[in-house]
Structure 1
Amino acid sequence: MGADAEAALTATLNTAVDLDGAPGLSFGATRAGRYLAIGGKGRRGPDDAATPDADTVFEIGSLTKTFTAGLIFELEAEGRLETSGTIGAYVPDLPEAWRARTLASLLSHTSGLPEYLDAGNFMDLMPRDLTPRDLIALAAGKPVDFEPGARHAYNNTGFVLLGMAAEAVGGAPYWEQIETRFLRPAGMMRTGPRGRLQLDANHAGGRFWNGEIWNDHPPISAAGSTFSAGGLLSTARDLTHWAIAIDHGVVLTPHARRQMWRPAYLADGTPAGWGHGWVVERDDEGHVIVAHGGGTAGFSCWFRRDIDAELTTVVLTNQNGRADPLTMTEQLLARLT
């Protein structure tokens, strides 16, 4: 696609998306390893009138989990761990009821582990730069929610443990492994955890809707508040770089892709409605769709790959609580397909 066609499509997509209370957003789209469009609209923050662009840094929250899943399966491909193995084999000193839960059950959110992060402590925890052990301690005294494989329940605790397992066998800290294996090869120069990533003026300010009023100064998220479950910041350009790197085989081995994007099943053989670190589903045309979102105190996002159409979209918004990045993604897709 030429520069003029890309600019025209970017303008079309820009007008297609309703901010719905979000100060602003950045978006990108790729097909078959090439850019289609990339841009932004609105404001970088409630107090920042500049328009976000492809290089504006946003918190991406739980989209981090897709990188964690990729890391785990890369380590498995190298023989350093087994996802059929138990978390207790890689992370010591866990509550007894946790130890026999498999890495695969953590990846598919079917482990039944108690949640350390919930609506009651969310706003207090977000700005706290805790250690992974601190996070685990928040849930260690709680009973498990259900037996492994009994049902699917989204869980952050399990992904903190996966990051700890990766550190135990990977020979380097979690963030260093993510950077060397994924970010650098993909050319993601403006992606990383707060503290490691050096922010310039082009970063977004968040907004939070509590159901009644907007909070225009919610707490920023410290990397330690979510670790490998949600600690990354990124940009629309970097995430489109990531999609293109995946398309060209620069990152993620065939083993990692195959294992992440296969459906998970419950103990009784019924579908869990999830993959391994990703949402995995089929659309009305029968295409395999893999996706994941993220949300922090002031940000939300949605990353979607149509594997069969080789089409990837990313939407990053600087709000959480009202405007839905999945709806915004659907607005983009209506103009792309």
Structure 2
Amino acid sequence: MLRAMIAATLLLALPVATHAAGLKPKLDAFKAFARDYQAQNGVLSMSYAIAKDGEIVAAEGFGWMDHDAEEPTTADTTYLVASITKTFTAATLLAMDADGVIDLDDDFTTLSDWDERCRRLSVSGNIFGGGQMLAEGYRPPRIRCGARISLRDVLRMRVLGEPGTNFLYNPIVFGRLSNWVEEKTGVSFQRWMRHYVIDKTDLENIAAGWRDARGGHALRLLAPPFRYAPEERARFEPTALPNPELNGSSGIIASPRTLAAYSIALDEGRILPPELLREMWTPPQEANGSPASYAHGWWSQEWRGQRLVWHGGWWPEAYAGFLLKVPDKRLTLVVYGNTDGLHWGNPLGRAEIEKSAVALRFLELFAVESEDIALRP
């Protein structure tokens, strides 16, 4: 009986193992790179998962998820993934629109506290209110508090100046999408997100905010945040947990393995049908005819002729990481850590994930054809 059980277990594992076996040199190269990166860039706890053709082919964890080095990191260690939550919000709202629950052309500015919040944002000097020069030399227009802004404008991050015409990444306004949905439907945004995304795919080890009654396992495995200070005697200093409440912009708590399973579910049409998935990942055109850098809740760009969609997440001196997809290759990397050592400073006005050393190494290994480039040290 025991021999039969072992044989059955090996048989069930064979498809994943066989698929991963063909990628082994590249997986080994990425693992070595990731381990070095974790050690050299002050990421106390770092986890990643790689998915290819519907299978999770690698899932690793390095370091410790606590200050006393008693709890080793695994691929199931969870993190407050910050703005990766926006991808869940986008899928939820597109599905609600398709079902007629909401209309993405509805007026976002009917939100009860919008007038006061917009007024404060417009005079605050905050970059997300517009009017400030960006590092790349672009001065976005100020937000117009009397203008009509649609839900789609907010999903596309096109709320400054004439709504729908100017892109600037804007997590403050995006975050209020959850409040708008709750006011209009009388149902918590957590319930909508679970209904349209999380529960449709039976995702485990995930919480839609820290108040999610069904997210206890994710909360139990959470790696607390740290500040990395290499010049100080105590190189890692515990920091306060960032806002763990769920809103349109942030609040998902999950492991990289779970987010890789989420990515596979997107590819397989288990969250959105193909036409809505294409819509979510298709950016509008800028005035010069070029595609914008942001679609609906996802960054969008080309790299060496290949389409990339992705989202980063960053809480300063706490958490950082990203979810990167190469849709045409059914290829995904999710990586996260409990310091901000994975943050690469993507500009607010354009998508440049290749500036992340981890993302670039992954793309060189798995998204290009040249073995010479891929397997270099």
Q: TM-score, normalised by structure 1?
A: 0.79
> Is it true that 1:166 corresponds to 2:181 in the alignment?
yes
283, 304, 315: which one aligns with 1:263 = 283
What is residue 61 of structure 2 aligned with on the other side? 40
Secondary structure, aligned partner of 2:61: strand
Q: 1:267 Cα shift?
A: 6.2
> Is it true that 1:299 corresponds to 2:314 in the alignment?
no
Relative to structure 1, is the Cα distance of residues 98 and 279 closer, same or farther in structure 2, using a 3 angstrom cutoff?
Answer: farther
Relative to structure 1, is the Cα distance of residues 239 and 273 closer, same or farther in structure 2, using a 3 angstrom cutoff?
Answer: same
What is residue 175 of structure 1 aligned with on the other side? 190
What is residue 17 of structure 2 aligned with on the other side? 3
Q: 1:293 Cα shift?
A: 0.5
What is residue 147 of structure 1 aligned with on the other side? 162
- Partners of 2:259 and 2:171 lie apart in 1 by 22
Taking the TM superposition and a 5 Å limit, the aligned residue runs for 1:1-337 are 1-3=15-17, 6=20, 11-17=28-34, 18-19=37-38, 20-89=41-110, 91-95=111-115, 97=145, 100-112=148-160, 146-170=161-185, 172-192=187-207, 193-196=209-212, 197-199=215-217, 201-209=220-228, 216-224=237-245, 227-266=247-286, 271-284=291-304, 286-297=305-316, 298-320=318-340, 324=344, 326-337=356-367
- 1:116-163 CA-partner distances (Å, limit 9, x unpaired): xxxxxxxxxxxxxxxxxxxxxxxxxxxxxx332453221122222211
Secondary structure, aligned partner of 1:151: coil
User: 1:182 is aligned with what amino acid?
Assistant: V
User: 2:30 is aligned with what amino acid?
Assistant: L
Secondary structure, aligned partner of 1:182: helix
Q: 1:231 Cα shift?
A: 0.9
- Partners of 1:268 and 1:76 lie apart in 2 by 29
Secondary structure, aligned partner of 2:204: coil
- Partners of 1:212 and 1:109 lie apart in 2 by 38
Q: Which structure shows the higher helix fraction?
A: 2
Q: 1:264 Cα shift?
A: 2.4
- Partners of 1:108 and 1:242 lie apart in 2 by 21
Q: 1:195 Cα shift?
A: 2.8
Whether the aligned pair in 2 keeps the contact of 1:107 and 1:158 (CA below 8 Å) is no
User: 1:165 is aligned with what amino acid?
Assistant: W
Whether the aligned pair in 2 keeps the contact of 1:68 and 1:159 (CA below 8 Å) is no
- 1:72-112 CA-partner distances (Å, limit 9, x unpaired): 111111122222332034x2342182661111221111202
User: 1:53 is aligned with what amino acid?
Assistant: T
Gaps of 5+ in 1: 113-145
| Bigger Cα displacement from structure 2, 43-52 vs 71-80 | 43-52
Q: 1:269 Cα shift?
A: 5.6
Relative to structure 1, is the Cα distance of residues 250 and 70 closer, same or farther in structure 2, using a 3 angstrom cutoff?
Answer: same
- 1:224-267 CA-partner distances (Å, limit 9, x unpaired): 3x622111110012111101211221112334312211112346
- Partners of 1:272 and 1:212 lie apart in 2 by 40
Secondary structure, aligned partner of 1:28: strand
User: What number of residue pairs does the alignment pair up?
Assistant: 301
Relative to structure 1, is the Cα distance of residues 314 and 107 closer, same or farther in structure 2, using a 3 angstrom cutoff?
Answer: same
Q: 1:2 Cα shift?
A: 4.2
| Bigger Cα displacement from structure 2, 63-72 vs 102-111 | 102-111
Relative to structure 1, is the Cα distance of residues 2 and 259 closer, same or farther in structure 2, using a 3 angstrom cutoff?
Answer: closer
What is residue 131 of structure 1 aligned with on the other side? none
Whether the aligned pair in 2 keeps the contact of 1:191 and 1:233 (CA below 8 Å) is yes
Secondary structure, aligned partner of 1:216: strand
- Partners of 2:236 and 2:247 lie apart in 1 by 24
| Bigger Cα displacement from structure 2, 183-192 vs 318-327 | 318-327
| Bigger Cα displacement from structure 2, 96-105 vs 311-320 | 96-105
Instruction: Give the structure, 1 or 2, with the largest relative contact order (CA under 8 Å, sep 6 or more).
Output: 1
| Bigger Cα displacement from structure 2, 93-102 vs 294-303 | 93-102
| Aligned CA-pair RMSD | 2.8
Same amino acid, percent of matched pairs: 23
Relative to structure 1, is the Cα distance of residues 233 and 328 closer, same or farther in structure 2, using a 3 angstrom cutoff?
Answer: same
- Partners of 2:49 and 2:19 lie apart in 1 by 15
Relative to structure 1, is the Cα distance of residues 217 and 98 closer, same or farther in structure 2, using a 3 angstrom cutoff?
Answer: farther
Q: 1:215 Cα shift?
A: 5.8
Whether the aligned pair in 1 keeps the contact of 2:323 and 2:334 (CA below 8 Å) is yes
User: 1:195 is aligned with what amino acid?
Assistant: R
- Partners of 1:49 and 1:296 lie apart in 2 by 24
User: 2:17 is aligned with what amino acid?
Assistant: A
- Partners of 1:266 and 1:335 lie apart in 2 by 32
Whether the aligned pair in 1 keeps the contact of 2:76 and 2:257 (CA below 8 Å) is yes
- 1:57-76 CA-partner distances (Å, limit 9, x unpaired): 11100100111111111111
